[in-house]
Chains A and B, each alone.
Chain A
Amino acid sequence: KAGVTQTPRYLIKTRGQQVTLSCSPISGHRSVSWYQQTPGQGLQFLFEYFSETQRNKGNFPGRFSGRQFSNSRSEMNVSTLELGDSALYLCASSFLGYQETQYFGPGTRLLVL
């Protein structure tokens, strides 16, 4: 069974631009969660989508948004990029998302210049 895939793997943007990251969960998984990982803050929860609905949201500004499609693939968007948005963005999938093992993708490394 294929694992969680994320595209692109690396991205360089400049301040003020926007970016869209994509995540394809493990086949059959309906829950997709997004996390931001930085050296200073560690792994922080952004949001979770389940059956095309945002079910849970972390403490990030509205510039961070996401969506999920009917095939469970998910995208996250960051608008008006700031230098501090430079991070590894990870998505994780699970079947139902509650008290279940979550499987992480390799991440998208975003650098904002």
Chain B
Amino acid sequence: QKEVEQDPGPLSVPEGAIVSLNCTYSNSAFQYFMWYRQYSRKGPELLMYTYSSGNKEDGRFTAQVDKSSKYISLFIRDSQPSDSATYLCAIGGVTSGSRLTFGEGTQLTVNP
């Protein structure tokens, strides 16, 4: 079983839709959670960082963490064609130092 599971998609939505991206993890030692966006042939770009259960909002993006269920989500409101990319969840923990464990990424396409 992988430590972090993420539905690889692909996911295709119309412009303006609400997008929900999800990951589950198995190790309760994980303590902080990130979402990265990766455009084709580019390095991952950090979108959201959180370390507690609950919601964190930044513009059109909301990250949600439920540590009791080991479940994290990223919601994108009013999605735009420029949001078309691969979204990666990344999780880190006390014993792993800076090491991040990534989901395999969800490929999102927002159609105009």
Which residues does A use to contact B, with CB under 8 Å?
Answer: 4, 31, 33, 35, 42-45, 48, 50, 55-56, 58, 90, 92, 94, 97-107, 109
In the complex, which residue of chain B has the Cβ closest to the Cβ of A91?
B43
Query: By the criterion CB–CB under 8 Å, are B46 and A45 in contact?
Result: no
Query: By the criterion CB–CB under 8 Å, are B46 and A43 in contact?
Result: no
How many residue pairs at the A-B interface have CB separations less than 8 Å?
65
User: A42, A48, A90, A106: which contacts B99 (Cβ < 8 A)?
Assistant: A48
Query: By the criterion CB–CB under 8 Å, are B92 and A42 in contact?
Result: no
Which residues does B use to contact A, with CB under 8 Å?
Answer: 31-32, 34, 36, 41-46, 49, 51, 88, 90, 92, 96-105
Complex CA distance for A87 and B43, rounded to whole angstroms: 13
Q: Which residues of B contact A56 (CB under 8 A)?
A: 96-99
Q: Which residues of B contact A103 (CB under 8 A)?
A: 46
Query: By the criterion CB–CB under 8 Å, are A31 and B103 in contact?
Result: no
In the complex, which residue of chain A has the Cβ closest to the Cβ of B49?
A101
Q: Which residues of A contact B42 (CB under 8 A)?
A: 106-107
Query: By the criterion CB–CB under 8 Å, are A97 and B97 in contact?
Result: yes
